Amino acid sequence: MNDSYRWVIVGAGALMTCVAIGAMFSLAVYLTPLAAATGWSRAGISSAMSIDFMAMGIAGFGWGAASDRWGPRLVVLSGAVLLGLGQVLASQAHSLIAFQLTYGILVGTAGGAFFAPLMATVTTWFEKNRALAVSLVSAGMGVAPMTISPFARWLTSAYDWRTAMLIIGIAAWCLLIPAALLVRRAPVLAHSGGAVPQPGAGVITSVSQAFRSPQFIVLALTFFACCCAHSGPIFHMQSYAIICGVSPLAAVSIYSVEGLSGLGGRLLLGVLGDRFGAKRVLVGGLVVQALCIGTYLYVRRLEDFYALAVVFGTAYGGVMPLYAVLARDYFGPRIIGTVFGAATMMSSLGMAIGPLAGGWIFDTFHAYTWLYISAMSVGFGAVAIALFFPPQPSRVALQPRPA
């Protein structure tokens, strides 16, 4: 049963990342109508997403440690309740500060309960095909722009942003709470008398040692720079496309193409990571990501946006699961939730910079040019840092614990 149930974990994880991340990123869909309806600045609204990422990162560290100690089910169930609550309360906010606090802190804290704990949990269920399994869970994030975002756009057009956000919050409760009940700790960690993976040479098993290690420092800094580079272009892409003359509905479709490409990229780079090593594939994906960000400065037509979205989505979507694979290889299954949660906290801080910086750049210069120039520079910085990853430890098969 254990061999088959691990794929249930993958399926439940993919659904939860789709709904949770999709609901959170729907703020990009609400940005223009929300600003028009309330008179709030784009920078002020965008800062709610920046608060989201900061809250998600800090909470992700705590949720990851809680997952190591009490198991992932309690963590994702708590996140499901908080996510719906944050969306519902934010939909009723009548001041910018109230909106920033409810959408930012509550939704962000809830988001931290899904990505790092679920990715870490799946790595403990798999020895073979680990990169592929983690990529499938992360693929839920790629499905979100094709499902949650168009649904949010349709609701906003049919009603208004408040009704749309309220409905999505209630839908999140209906989907996430049942899915959370399917999540469980891997058998190798749940039963003290069961089999445990024996760490290979070079695997770090102490949390305090892990946080001081070159492996963690490079992992965290690369993750930070990678997410800092692509978060602004992703969040402001729809607004940028509209400025370039693309209709609002078509602009959402570009985001959906990026999501579909990110789905394919997660699967492609996951398979390549299992075959050629996560480090090599990660560096290659980061190079492509940086080049794509700079290329946005030269696109104006809808078909050009589509073409670039395919490559960009494949790159930034494909590299994301590889960080969890590297963390699992370097630090083993016992502390993966804590360590990857800490790395995710750094990535979330990077994600927090992009939306706010993009909003400030637009409000100041009335254009997004400097957003793409600075994001491309940071993207190449991520490539440079990733080159310093130490060699990955060798994996070993599960062995029974001595009686």
Over 50: is that where the pLDDT of 3 sits?
yes
Whether residue 31 is contained in a domain is answered as yes
- Residues forming beta bridges with residue 195, ordered by sequence position: 400
Whether residue 56 is contained in a domain is answered as yes
Over 80: is that where the pLDDT of 129 sits?
no
pLDDT of residue 133: 85
Q: Per-residue pLDDT averaged across 180-199, rounded?
A: 64
**CB burial readout 169-197, b (16+ within 10 A) else e:** bebbbebbeebbebbbbbbbbeeeeeebb
pLDDT of residue 188: 65
Over 50: is that where the pLDDT of 140 sits?
yes
Bigger pLDDT: 384 vs 43: 384
pLDDT of residue 88: 94
Q: Per-residue pLDDT averaged across 187-206, rounded?
A: 56
Measure CA 352 to chain center: 12
Whether residue 396 is contained in a domain is answered as no
Per DSSP, 396 falls in state -
Q: Per-residue pLDDT averaged across 17-40, rounded?
A: 86
Whether residue 290 is contained in a domain is answered as yes
Residues 6 or more apart whose Cβ sits within 8 Å of residue 157 = none
pLDDT of residue 193: 40
pLDDT of residue 2: 60
Of all residues in the chain, what percent carry a pLDDT higher than 90? 33
342-394 confidence digits (pLDDT tens): 898 888 788 878 888 888 898 888 889 999 999 999 999 999 999 998 886 65
Whether residue 277 is contained in a domain is answered as yes
* Closest listed residue to residue 84, CA positions, set 184, 181, 177: 177
Domain extent at residue 20? 2-185+203-390
Whether residue 197 is contained in a domain is answered as no
User: Which H, E and C letters describe 174-225, residue by residue?
Assistant: HHHHHHHCCCCCCHHHHCCCCEEECCCCCCCCCHHHHHHCHHHHHHHHHHHH
260-313 confidence digits (pLDDT tens): 888 788 888 888 988 888 899 999 999 999 999 999 999 989 999 999 999 999
How many domains, the chain?
A: 1
For the ranges 42-46, 82-86, 260-264, the maximum mean pLDDT occurs at: 82-86
CATH of the domain at 217: 1.20.1250.20
* Mean pLDDT estimate for the chain: 85
Over 50: is that where the pLDDT of 113 sits?
yes
pLDDT of residue 75: 93
pLDDT of residue 189: 62
Q: Per-residue pLDDT averaged across 190-202, rounded?
A: 48
pLDDT of residue 62: 87
Whether residue 291 is contained in a domain is answered as yes
pLDDT of residue 168: 93
d(CA 79, CA 252) in angstroms, rounded, equals 27
Over 80: is that where the pLDDT of 395 sits?
no
Over 60: is that where the pLDDT of 198 sits?
no
Q: Per-residue pLDDT averaged across 38-61, rounded?
A: 83
Q: Is the dihedral of CA 99, 101, 102, 107 positive or negative?
A: positive
d(CA 153, CA 148) in angstroms, rounded, equals 9
Whether residue 249 is contained in a domain is answered as yes
Over 60: is that where the pLDDT of 1 sits?
no
CA distances from residue 346 to 20, 78, 184, 222, 368 in whole angstroms, order as listed? 19, 22, 26, 9, 25
